[in-house]
């Protein structure tokens, strides 16, 4: 028995927000003072660091559970699956449903329960729950799903990663330009086919690192300080990721018994182009090599950082031949890796 992705789906929001759309924003320093540089200079430096040219936001009528439902429906159809046979729905997110114009995250009931309701699944034996694990949440959900299947507790699981970060960003914080919305879903099944999950690794660093990403007040000192937004210590996250993610990737690959030269693609959380490229460079350096050309497909340039949605969305686009100059075939080995709030890290070696 092997554990494989038998279907995938994604939802890419229709509202395109370019860097120039931030031209009239009043970006402020953490102490509330104005930037000395113009927004044009800020935007240019932002592109050089992150590689993000535009991002996608959901429309006002949608919420995280809505776009997750759309992605899930696509994955179920792609897997040619009777939805009533699902044993688990595991939904990775971080902020719940945040309706446009509100400041609270709605997680009652859980988003997984909302998706099960939206899909009109009647089977009470289909267990729906959420997982909060930062940006690596979808991959951790995948790891949990395969554990359930290996333990004989399940045969078919729906694993979702979705987020609407546009609803929780401080418009006065330039880091708000990084974040975006999106949803990706996969059906995970036990199968007699070859391949599937070959190895995985997870770690949580919480001694000094737990609050590198956090909820904080607006940089605009006239705003209500009790209204909180997603904030981060970018430099600390960058240094942490470069120090720890390559090592986790190596541990995972070594555990799988797969030679690094057999890896066809690396799907890494689309956090920041410069950081992701540096992680790949350091990973290959651990093997005394340089990364081969085309090893790392990217979606961040057009889709931004949609947290838990980046890897399942990238996988869906890649497997369906929607990433230019990138191709996957049956039997190919891929390495997945993510880092995010917690600070959490995980990696997986998977054979298509």
Length of the chain: 352
pLDDT at residue 104 in the model: 84
For the chain, the domains span 2-193, 198-351
Spatial CA neighbour of 62 closest among 166, 176, 175, 186:
166
Average pLDDT, the chain: 95
Q: pLDDT tens digits for 99-123?
A: 998 878 999 999 999 999 999 999 9
CA distances from 101 to 66, 167, 188, 222, 305 (A): 17, 8, 36, 18, 22
pLDDT at residue 101 in the model: 87
- Res 5 pLDDT > 90: yes
Long-range contacts of 16-22 (CB under 8 A, 24+ apart): 16/54, 16/55, 16/56, 17/54, 17/55, 17/56, 17/57, 17/166, 17/180, 18/53, 18/54, 19/43, 19/46, 19/47, 19/52, 19/53, 19/54, 19/177, 22/177
pLDDT at residue 260 in the model: 98
pLDDT at residue 1 in the model: 84
Can you tell me the distance from the alpha carbon of 339 to that of 115, in angstroms, rounded to the nearest whole number? 26
Can you tell me the distance from the alpha carbon of 49 to that of 71, in angstroms, rounded to the nearest whole number? 30
Region 159-175 average pLDDT:
96
Spatial CA neighbour of 1 closest among 159, 152, 144:
152
Pairing mode of beta strands 228-232, 333-340: unpaired
Q: pLDDT tens digits for 193-227?
A: 999 999 999 999 999 999 999 999 999 999 999 89
pLDDT confidence bin for 80, thresholds 50/70/90: very high
- Which residues are within 8 A (CB) of 22 and not within 5 positions of it... i.e. 6 or more apart? 39, 43, 177
Residue 30: phi and psi, rounded to 5, are -60, -30
Superfamily designation of domain 2-193: Thiolase/Chalcone synthase (3.40.47.10)
Q: Model-level pTM? A: 0.95
Q: Do 2-193 and 198-351 come out as alike in CATH topology?
A: yes
Check if the beta carbon of residue 13 is closer than 8 Å to that of residue 304: no
State how far Cα 352 lies from the chain centre: 20
Class assignment of domain 198-351?
alpha beta
Region 133-149 average pLDDT:
98
Q: pLDDT tens digits for 287-304?
A: 999 999 999 999 999 999
First vs last C-alpha separation in the chain: 15
- Res 266 pLDDT > 90: yes
Region 255-260 average pLDDT:
98
pLDDT confidence bin for 38, thresholds 50/70/90: confident
pLDDT at residue 37 in the model: 84
- Res 40 pLDDT > 90: no
Sign of CA dihedral 285, 270, 190, 200: positive
- Res 283 pLDDT > 90: yes
pLDDT at residue 254 in the model: 98
pLDDT at residue 274 in the model: 93
pLDDT confidence bin for 284, thresholds 50/70/90: very high
CA dihedral angle for residue 133, residue 118, residue 179, residue 106, rounded to 10 degrees: -70
pLDDT at residue 23 in the model: 82
pLDDT at residue 164 in the model: 97
pLDDT at residue 240 in the model: 96
- Which residues are within 8 A (CB) of 21 and not within 5 positions of it... i.e. 6 or more apart? none
- Res 280 pLDDT > 90: yes
pLDDT at residue 230 in the model: 95
């Amino acid at each position: 028995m092997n554990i494989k992705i038998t279907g995938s789906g994604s939802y890419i929001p229709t509202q395109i927000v370019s860097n120039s759309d931030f031209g009239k924003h009043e970006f402020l320093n953490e102490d509330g003072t104005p930037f000395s540089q113009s927004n044009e200079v800020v935007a240019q430096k932002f592109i050089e660091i992150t590689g993000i040219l535009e991002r996608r936001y959901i429309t006002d009528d949608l919420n995280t559970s809505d776009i997750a439902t759309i992605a899930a429906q696509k994955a179920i159809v792609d897997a040619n699956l009777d939805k009533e046979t699902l044993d688990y729905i595991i939904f990775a997110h971080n902020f719940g449903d945040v309706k446009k114009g509100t400041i609270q995250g709605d997680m009652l009931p859980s988003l997984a329960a909302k998706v099960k309701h939206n899909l009109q699944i009647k089977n009470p034996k289909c267990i729906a729950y959420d997982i909060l694990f930062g940006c690596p949440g979808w991959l951790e959900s995948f790891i949990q799903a395969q554990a359930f299947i290996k333990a004989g507790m399940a045969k078919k699981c729906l694993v979702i990663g979705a987020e609407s970060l546009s609803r929780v960003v401080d418009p006065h914080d330039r880091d708000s330009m990084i974040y975006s919305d999106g949803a990706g879903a996969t059906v995970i099944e036990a199968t007699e086919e070859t391949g599937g999950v070959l190895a995985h690794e997870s770690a949580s660093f919480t001694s000094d690192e737990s609050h590198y990403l956090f909820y904080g007040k607006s940089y605009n000192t006239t705003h209500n300080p009790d209204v909180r937004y997603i904030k981060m210590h970018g430099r600390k996250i960058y240094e942490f990721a470069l120090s720890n993610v390559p090592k986790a990737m190596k541990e995972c690959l070594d555990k799988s018994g797969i030679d690094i030269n057999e890896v066809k693609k690396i799907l890494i959380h689309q956090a920041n182009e410069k950081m992701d490229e540096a992680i790949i460079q350091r990973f290959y350096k651990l093997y005394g090599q340089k990364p081969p050309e085309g090893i790392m497909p990217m979606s961040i340039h057009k889709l931004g950082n949609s947290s838990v949605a980046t890897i399942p969305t990238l996988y869906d686009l890649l497997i369906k031949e929607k990433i230019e100059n990138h191709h996957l075939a049956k039997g190919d080995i891929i390495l997945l890796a993510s880092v995010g709030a917690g600070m959490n890290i995980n990696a997986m070696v998977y054979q298509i």
